[in-house]
A and B are shown apart, each in its own frame.
Chain A
Amino acid sequence: MAADDIWILGIRMTKFGKHPDRDTIDLAAEASMAALADGGVTMADIGILAFGNLRGPSTGQMLQKQIGQTGIPVFNVANACATGATALRTAIMAIKAGECEMGLAVGVEKLAGAGLLSGNAAQSDVNVYEPSGRVGEVAPLDGRIGTVTMPGVFAQVGMEYLYNHDYTGAEFELFARISQKNHAHSTLNPLAAYTKEMSLEQIMGDVMIAYPNTRSMCSANCDGAAAAVLVSDQKLRTLSARQQARAIKIRASVLTSDPWQEACQVLPDVNTLTRAAAKQAYEAAGVGPEDLDLVELHDCFATAELVHYDNLGLCAPGGAVDLFESGATNRNGNMPVNVSGGLESKGHPIAATGIANVWEVCHHLRGEAGDRQIDGARMGLAHVIGLGSACGVHILESASA
């Protein structure tokens, strides 16, 4: 232990899926109380609450009223799909700054049945054209000048990677096989929204959303929450041997936004900020990708997973296809990626995702992942990206390492 280390003391996610009878506060409360119990502490120990619920309607204050009001500062955070990671980072920064010894980070979302999350307002042209908006448009632009839908944006992200690296193979099948891997992984995760193995034919034959992404290659809209209790090194030393043994060390916690790149005004650049976050994280931790036993990365679409192999340095530059084709990213490979089933099957309740992926990694590092345990896992990386853009990367290590 080092004096400035921050540790995860307790962490939990709810079952992801449909929770028609429970609201965001119910789900956030379940995850929070489970995380507190997992860490062996109560709200009386918590010095800061960082809370994310991107699409509303809940706040950290509403959660407090449900599980314990102690007057601590609450930070309600929003950072697109990186909202959960931002809540985590906020609590970590508060502890690092010496403001408190323990913090609670929570992310929750209800998305079941939400459909497309952008460009989904019905469009109609006005009766008489009048330029308005930042480019003086006279009519809605979605579908007339490109697409604003997430499946379409991320389809282009994946296709651009193939173009940049002169891929000449069967692109649709390549991306479908990435999805097939994650759906196969999900069969071992009881908390995933979907746990069905899917054949290549089923995936490629599913409803086309935005080529090359079919429905089963898109992240699953669902309900869920995740929460984590963070603790300072100094405080952890005063806790029980069991608490210390199960604590997970945060070797790196990084949040980036996208620096300017030529094309970023026309297609969101999800690459540069992820590469920057990964580089900063590896440097902070003093480790490299070869030291990782598992990776949970932001496969919001099958086309996204491919580019992040490269962005996170899991392969040589330009080598993402080769890495995947080698089988390394399967759960029995030497660089298991998304053994939870990933967002494509575990689900993607937006603000919960950036804590749930950390939970997955912690679960393995504690040796508590049951049927899907990656044997001997000591170090893992969790990555999320929110368009706009925000990227969170956390590198985690087991206490016994």
Chain B
Amino acid sequence: MPTQIPLVDYLELGDAPHLVAQECTACGARYFDRRNACAGCFGTEFRSVPVGTEGTLRSFTIVAHAAPGVATPFVAGVVDVDGTSVKSNIINIPPDPEHVRLGMKVRLATLVVGTDDAGTDAIGFGFEPAEGD
């Protein structure tokens, strides 16, 4: 049984994988990285909050040309999760504009993005088409 490590620290693995944001306790602004003060209201207190796993695809691009070592094509997009914007790949869908559509409903999914020499799997995330869409 290989061990696992999240690709980024704001992805929480386990039975119900989800993203975790740092939320400003004063104004509710959310960040996926650390801030000294809230960029919106300058508040300095943050709490960890779980981000939902279902959302709407607000924008996307299909990247055909990227840096060496980056597998193409892939779909990159912005998912609106109940008012929290999440940057993500859109996965488990053919990477073409006939299948990927603005406004489509998507849900969080995890995937193995690599395995290191110690046998540890790096687990990344993406959003995939939600059932019924």
A116 touches B7 (CB 8 A): no
Q: Give CA–CA (A52, B69) in the complex, Å.
A: 32
A207 touches B65 (CB 8 A): yes
Whole-angstrom distance from the CB of B48 to the nearest CB of chain A?
14
Residues of B within 8 A of A241 (CB): none
Most chain B Cβ neighbours within 10 Å, of A172, A207, A263: A263
Contact-residue size bin, chain A (C-beta under 8 Å from the other chain): 35 or more
Report the stretch among A68-76, A91-99, A119-127 that lies at the interface: A119-127
Residues of A within 8 A of B10 (CB): 135-136
Is B78 positioned at the interface, with any CB of A under 8 Å from its CB? yes
Whole-angstrom distance from the CB of B2 to the nearest CB of chain A?
12
B interface residues, tally (CB under 8 Å): 52
- Taking a contact as CB atoms closer than 8 A, the residue among A126, A138, A156, A171 that contacts B78 in the complex is A156
- Taking a contact as CB atoms closer than 8 A, the residue among A123, A125, A134, A157 that contacts B68 in the complex is A123
- Taking a contact as CB atoms closer than 8 A, the residue among A135, A156, A212 that contacts B9 in the complex is A135
Given known contacts A134-B33, A211-B97, A119 and B76 CB-to-CB distance under 8 angstroms? no
- Taking a contact as CB atoms closer than 8 A, the residue among A139, A146, A262 that contacts B77 in the complex is A146
Most chain A Cβ neighbours within 10 Å, of B61, B70, B118: B61
- Taking a contact as CB atoms closer than 8 A, the residue among A119, A122, A140, A211 that contacts B64 in the complex is A211
Whole-angstrom distance from the CB of A2 to the nearest CB of chain B?
38
Whole-angstrom distance from the CB of A206 to the nearest CB of chain B?
11
* 165-193 of chain A: CB within 8 A of chain B: 171-172
A141 touches B102 (CB 8 A): no
- Taking a contact as CB atoms closer than 8 A, the residue among B59, B71, B83 that contacts A156 in the complex is B59
10 A-B pairs with least C-beta separation: A136-B9, A155-B61, A143-B70, A123-B69, A263-B85, A160-B59, A266-B87, A211-B62, A260-B40, A122-B68
Known: A145-B88, A151-B65. 4 other contacts (CB 8 A): A116-B67, A119-B70, A147-B74, A213-B61
- Which residues of B approach A to under 8 Å, CB–CB? 5-10, 29, 31-34, 38-40, 58-72, 74, 76-78, 83-89, 97, 102-103, 113-114, 116-118, 120, 122, 124-125
